[in-house]
Amino acid sequence: MKSQILTMTFPYRSAVTSVFLDIAAIAFVFFVPAMSHLTGIPIYLVEPMRIMVVLALLHSHRYNAWALAIILPAFSFFVSGHPYPIKMVIITAELLLNVFLFHLLIKKITPFAAMLTAIVASKVFYYLLKYVVVVAGMLQMDLFATPILIQMITALVFSGYAYLILHPAKK
């Protein structure tokens, strides 16, 4: 009887976690511009959309990470006008590739390596697409808006977090 209760509540718990994470993700993305403006701290440099997608990858159903990768850039655009539509599409593609690669790699390598590889590969993809768009004159901005050092640090932090959450403890 006890095991039946646990198995019946698991999907419910997963759904509640996903809903909570989605609400938090949307609220976070909604408030980042205001928080950055009010505090003078460029919070957007730590990649709030990727933070929420990584949390979804590690703490909720995989479809939730896919959904957030699509919803967050669009929501940010509709709420704040940023990113520009073409950049929104590029960010969406980057986040979707991040989710895809992580799910592909997590079965083959350690959580740290899977997350780091997924982030780095999706960033390379992002910058290649952004380069093409900037060179084509469809977007007028610097190729690297966020310093590479900050991107490296956030990638390592997210990968370390994936390791802590998913790596089984050695006994």
Kindly list the structural domains of the chain, giving each domain's residue range(s) and its CATH number in brackets, ordered by start.
Answer: 2-166 (1.10.1760)
Average pLDDT over the chain reads 88
Q: How much is the average pLDDT of 16-36?
A: 82
Confidence check: pLDDT of 72 > 60: yes
Q: What angle do CA 22, 28, 29 make, to 5 degrees?
A: 95
Spacing of C-alpha 63 from chain mean position: 13
Q: How much is the average pLDDT of 120-138?
A: 96
pLDDT tier at 11 (50, 70, 90 boundaries)? low
Confidence check: pLDDT of 12 > 70: no
Asked if residue 109 lies in contact with residue 137, where contact means CB atoms within 8 angstroms, the answer is no
Confidence check: pLDDT of 44 > 90: no
